[in-house]
Structure 1
Amino acid sequence: MAPENSNHATAAAILPLVGGAANITSVAHCMTRLRLGLKDRALVRDDALRALPAVLGVVEDDTYQIVLGPGTVARVAPEFEALVSAGSPQLPPTAEELAERGAELKAARKARNATPLKLLLRRIANIFVPLIPALIGCGIIAGLNGLLVNLGWLPAVTPALAALASGFMALIAVFVGFNTAKEFGGTPVLGGAVAAIIVFPGVAKIDAFGQPLSPGQGGVLGALGAAVLAVYVEKWCRRWVPESLDVLVTPTLTVLVSGLVTLYGLMFVAGEVATGIGHGANWLLDNTGAFAGLVLGGLFLPLVMLGLHQALIPIHATLIEQQGYTVLLPVLAMAGAGQVGCAVAVYVRAKRNEPLRATIKSALPAGLLGVGEPLIYGVSLPLGRPFVTACAGGAAGGAFVGLFSMLGDRVGSTAIGPSGWALFPLLRGNHGLGTTIAIYAGGLVVGYAVGFAATYCFGFSERLLADLNTAHPAETPAPATEPVRAT
């Protein structure tokens, strides 16, 4: 079957299992998941969805999320949207329908009981996640260019590659400002315009707090703050400026007020914070590397479950902007290695449980490439104790990478998003590429080994092991025995 037909078939198979087009209120996707807004959650057939070969798991959050894996989801989502549009013509809603929809939204919001922190972290993710494909592409090109420069090959080409790799990073503040304004309900281009001030070379002629500004000072943090301020100024103008003057006065005041505050306040403050983040991350790994790696690698999977990992996205972006790479991501990536080792141990121990072993076989390649959701939601989390032993593997791998940072060998990533084996093309450090790759590979091996050993020896009670090897296939926890709410 041609790939496009396969993607259409997957979308067509999913649609009736989520209640049909009439039950869909929104369709979106991230790197691995198809995210659906639903009118009636009761119409979803979870077990049938998980049984589809293309579905790696399901997660229930503020949207219903179907894990399809990287690449696949980006191709299935447009096909799914087309089917929803074809099956659900856009007719003007009646007053009764609008009232019912409003009541459902209000009830759903109360049921979620979203905290301000969770809402803020989701907004941060919505700002930075759309930038990840460009960060990955430019990061790989930067790594290729560095390799060619070190080898002395293609000297006529390397300047062009350097321009391709650096162009996006030079203007990342503009994209952050654009996305921030869009996320907070302002005019995106005004957010981008205010954030562009940060990277304008002419700011070097401006003194703030007794010293000249530097182009790029404050980076993505300054851009984020400037765009949020622009949104509030714009909303204030919309309330007070007469409608006849709005088109002239509102954008002018928005750029003028938020721009001046950015130049004479935010750039300096954000610059100090960004510098502190860079120094702090380097100090942490240089002086407490093994312990810091142990903690970060061990706690990252729980952070993902709580949704708190999203707070690290601006920190990664700041480090990449400052130093060319983030030293935190390779340490955090060890959590995925522990998860892979854990899954292999479950596969070995549950030797008579073919449905669970089939789930592991289908999800393991994605796990090796750093996509952990299928293994988390399909294997370790439903079983309970293996999730803890997977964290132990991540802690051991993180400690390994952190130890070498203490010894002077930093390992970093030029982009955020990938992990596992997919991170190899993005690796960069303060020594040769061979040393950097060897340390990261060693961390993966340690994470695999400890995750396997800890799970094999301590991941099962006698009762659980007996149940896994004698349970009827319908009782087997594959994938995710019940929807897991990612908070």
Structure 2
Amino acid sequence: MSTDDKNRAVAAAILPLVGGAGNITSVAHCMTRLRLGLRDRSLVRDEELKALPAVMGVVEDDTYQIVLGPGTVARVTPEFEALVAEAPAAPAATPSADDLAAQGAAIRAARKARNQTPFKLFLRRIANVFVPLIPALIGCGIIAGLNGLLINLGWLPAVTPALAAIASGFMALIAVFVGFNTAKEFGGTPILGGAVAAIVVFPGVAKVDAFGQTLSPGQGGVLGALGAAVLAVYVEKWCRRWVPESLDVLVTPTLTVLVSGLVTIFGLMFVAGEVSNAIGEFADWLLVHAGAGAGFVLGGLFLPLVMLGLHQALIPIHTTLIEQQGHTVLLPVLAMAGAGQVGAAMAVYLRLPRNGSIRRTIKSALPAGFLGVGEPLIYGVSLPLGRPFVTACVGGAFGGGFVGLFSMLGTKVGSTAIGPSGWALFPLLDGDKGLGRTIAVYAGGLLTGYLAGFVATYFWGFGARLLEEFDVDTDTGPETVVAASAGTTPPPGPAPEPGPEPKPAKL
């Protein structure tokens, strides 16, 4: 079977299990997940879906998210979209449309009451602005790292200027993309958001004197672009309400760009610039003066932040640091949470020698875990078991403390892009003491996280009751061990295959 046929077969297997084409309202994907908008959640056959070999897990959030893994999801999504487009518009047949609709409405209402707080919804919107930019950040970051290596080695001097242009072009205009996505996410006209955000990076602002200060192109960066585009959305919505329809096409875009642009130039750029500078200075100060302690806390708390969806607040901070300093010093510290998860999973494997289903899950999920894709281990192993999730956080804390300690000693480790972690972060590493030392410190942090997570889980991750419940013989079928609780939003990555779904254990 060709690769295209395989991807289409995966899409064809998923479609009927999510209620058919008529139950699909939207199709999108991120780095690892197929994200579906559903008309009726009750039509989804969860267990059959999780049992598909290609499906590593599911996560429920504002969309129904099917974890397929990096690379795979980008190939399956177009095939899935094509199947949805080709299918008849009518929804899949149901025994009682009214009953199912009522059941779906009840499920949605319960989820909304439980999880969709205004703060989380706001963070999700902010994440939706920046997440589509991650592939470009990764690609340009790797090219920038390669270019730096070639320059240091003195190789291909005729090529390095071209590589520098390729790597830097996106970052020079990232404010425009942020503005475009912001307006789209907040319900405005995307191109107007991009037009207002473009003011931030326009070289001509250097001729503007705002309150006695000459502006600099790029002042305020992505935060200024974000604020400018949000303002443009509100100005546009106000215009739509009050401007006569006959004049709307002329007046609304003109007023939107003019009002938002003036506020951006004579206010937002200065304020956002001060905030951006403060973020960079605080991050540097934190790791230089409190690196070990700060790294311990950040590495230990990142997995719980992920489970609560609060990690999304860090995305604009990472982006600001990359735009400002060329790399983010926070991501390598936070990446240690994944190392603790890997170490914990290896300990679980040894502590449950009779549970074939969980051990199969760990064996299939560990390669992805080493590459920084944590969901298979989170949802298939540590979170359902309970206490191993806590000890995985302990491993992340020690790994983060290791990287933070070396920041205090003068070796900062940064990443030129956001998204990858684990071993996948090596090509994106950057630092102030040379690439060799930077790689060594990051590798040392990973090893520390692996070891601490393993030791903490092996010796303190299991009580007698937990061992009695889970260290039992299981069948050898390909069931899925996934306890993806509703309302969680983990960092990009897939989830597992085998095993019966375990009951959440008491700590």
- TM-score when normalising by structure 1: 0.95
SS in 1 for 2:471: helix
Q: CA distance change for structure 1 residues 65 and 301 in 2, over 3 Å: closer, same or farther? A: same
Shift of residue 327 of structure 1? 0.2
The one-letter code of the counterpart of 2:173 is L
Q: CA distance change for structure 1 residues 186 and 484 in 2, over 3 Å: closer, same or farther? A: closer
Instruction: Single out whichever of 311-320 and 350-359 deviates more from structure 2.
Output: 350-359
Q: What CA distance in whole angstroms lies between the structure 2 residues aligned with 1:162 and 1:417?
A: 21
Q: What CA distance in whole angstroms lies between the structure 1 residues aligned with 2:43 and 2:64?
A: 12
1:293 aligns with 2:295: yes
Shift of residue 27 of structure 1? 1.9
Contact 1:38 1:63 (C-alpha < 8 Å) held by counterparts: yes
Quote the residue 2:69 is aligned against. Answer: 69
Shift of residue 309 of structure 1? 0.4
Stretches of structure 1 that go unaligned for 5 or more consecutive residues are: 92-96
Quote the residue 1:451 is aligned against. Answer: 453
CA-to-partner distance for each residue in 1:59-118, whole Å, 9 max, x for gaps? 122222111111111111111222222223279xxxxx99x9899669835641321111
Q: CA distance change for structure 1 residues 180 and 90 in 2, over 3 Å: closer, same or farther? A: farther
Of the three residues 386, 393, 409, the one matched with 2:411 is 409
SS in 2 for 1:28: strand
Quote the residue 2:20 is aligned against. Answer: 20
SS in 2 for 1:35: strand
Q: What CA distance in whole angstroms lies between the structure 2 residues aligned with 1:452 and 1:324?
A: 34
The one-letter code of the counterpart of 2:125 is R
Task: Select the structure with the greater relative contact order (CA < 8 A; seq sep ≥ 6).
Answer: 2
Quote the residue 1:41 is aligned against. Answer: 41
1:50 aligns with 2:44: no
Quote the residue 1:145 is aligned against. Answer: 147
Task: Give the 5 Å matches for 1:134-173.
Answer: 134-173=136-175
1:342 aligns with 2:339: no
Quote the residue 1:467 is aligned against. Answer: 469
Q: What CA distance in whole angstroms lies between the structure 1 residues aligned with 2:125 and 2:106?
A: 20
Shift of residue 469 of structure 1? 2.4
1:239 aligns with 2:216: no
Q: CA distance change for structure 1 residues 69 and 51 in 2, over 3 Å: closer, same or farther? A: same
The one-letter code of the counterpart of 2:130 is F
Q: CA distance change for structure 1 residues 471 and 42 in 2, over 3 Å: closer, same or farther? A: farther
Quote the residue 1:94 is aligned against. Answer: none
Shift of residue 22 of structure 1? 2.8
Q: How many residue pairs end up in the alignment? A: 481
The one-letter code of the counterpart of 2:2 is A
Shift of residue 374 of structure 1? 1.1
SS in 2 for 1:66: strand
Quote the residue 1:271 is aligned against. Answer: 273
Tell me which stretches of 4 or more aligned residues in structure 1 moved more than 6 Å.
Answer: 100-107, 474-477
Of the three residues 213, 219, 222, the one matched with 1:220 is 222
- TM-score when normalising by structure 2: 0.91
Q: CA distance change for structure 1 residues 103 and 171 in 2, over 3 Å: closer, same or farther? A: farther
Shift of residue 23 of structure 1? 2.6
Of the three residues 396, 399, 402, the one matched with 1:397 is 399
SS in 2 for 1:470: coil
Q: CA distance change for structure 1 residues 273 and 101 in 2, over 3 Å: closer, same or farther? A: farther
Quote the residue 2:325 is aligned against. Answer: 323
Contact 2:183 2:190 (C-alpha < 8 Å) held by counterparts: yes
Instruction: Single out whichever of 70-79 and 224-233 deviates more from structure 2.
Output: 70-79
Contact 1:353 1:476 (C-alpha < 8 Å) held by counterparts: no
SS in 1 for 2:405: helix
Quote the residue 1:369 is aligned against. Answer: 371
Quote the residue 1:11 is aligned against. Answer: 11
Quote the residue 2:32 is aligned against. Answer: 32
Shift of residue 245 of structure 1? 1.0
1:248 aligns with 2:250: yes
Q: CA distance change for structure 1 residues 400 and 375 in 2, over 3 Å: closer, same or farther? A: same
Q: Name whichever structure is richer in helix by fraction.
A: 1
Q: CA distance change for structure 1 residues 150 and 102 in 2, over 3 Å: closer, same or farther? A: farther
Quote the residue 2:504 is aligned against. Answer: none
CA-to-partner distance for each residue in 1:369-421, whole Å, 9 max, x for gaps? 11111110111101111100100010000000000000010000000001011
Q: What CA distance in whole angstroms lies between the structure 1 residues aligned with 2:106 and 2:55?
A: 30
Q: What CA distance in whole angstroms lies between the structure 1 residues aligned with 2:479 and 2:330?
A: 33
Contact 1:221 1:270 (C-alpha < 8 Å) held by counterparts: yes
Quote the residue 1:303 is aligned against. Answer: 305
Shift of residue 210 of structure 1? 1.3
Instruction: Single out whichever of 322-331 and 43-52 deviates more from structure 2.
Output: 43-52
The one-letter code of the counterpart of 2:40 is D
Q: What CA distance in whole angstroms lies between the structure 2 residues aligned with 1:275 and 1:262?
A: 17
SS in 2 for 1:233: helix
Shift of residue 18 of structure 1? 2.0
Shift of residue 450 of structure 1? 0.7
Of the three residues 340, 351, 354, the one matched with 1:352 is 354
Contact 1:194 1:259 (C-alpha < 8 Å) held by counterparts: yes
Q: What CA distance in whole angstroms lies between the structure 1 residues aligned with 2:249 and 2:397?
A: 55
Q: What is the RMSD computed on CA atoms of the aligned residues?
A: 2.1
SS in 2 for 1:436: helix
Contact 1:356 1:477 (C-alpha < 8 Å) held by counterparts: no
Shift of residue 14 of structure 1? 1.5
CA-to-partner distance for each residue in 1:243-276, whole Å, 9 max, x for gaps? 1111111111111100000000000000000000
Shift of residue 21 of structure 1? 2.2
Stretches of structure 2 that go unaligned for 5 or more consecutive residues are: 92-96, 490-507
1:108 aligns with 2:108: yes
The one-letter code of the counterpart of 1:335 is A
CA-to-partner distance for each residue in 1:333-358, whole Å, 9 max, x for gaps? 00000111111111112112111111
Task: Give the 5 Å matches for 1:82-93.
Answer: 82-89=82-89
Contact 2:179 2:229 (C-alpha < 8 Å) held by counterparts: yes
Aligned-residue identity in percent: 77
CA-to-partner distance for each residue in 1:15-66, whole Å, 9 max, x for gaps? 2222222332322221111122223333322222222211111112222211
Q: CA distance change for structure 1 residues 111 and 196 in 2, over 3 Å: closer, same or farther? A: same
Of the three residues 161, 177, 180, the one matched with 1:175 is 177
Shift of residue 242 of structure 1? 1.1
Quote the residue 1:332 is aligned against. Answer: 334
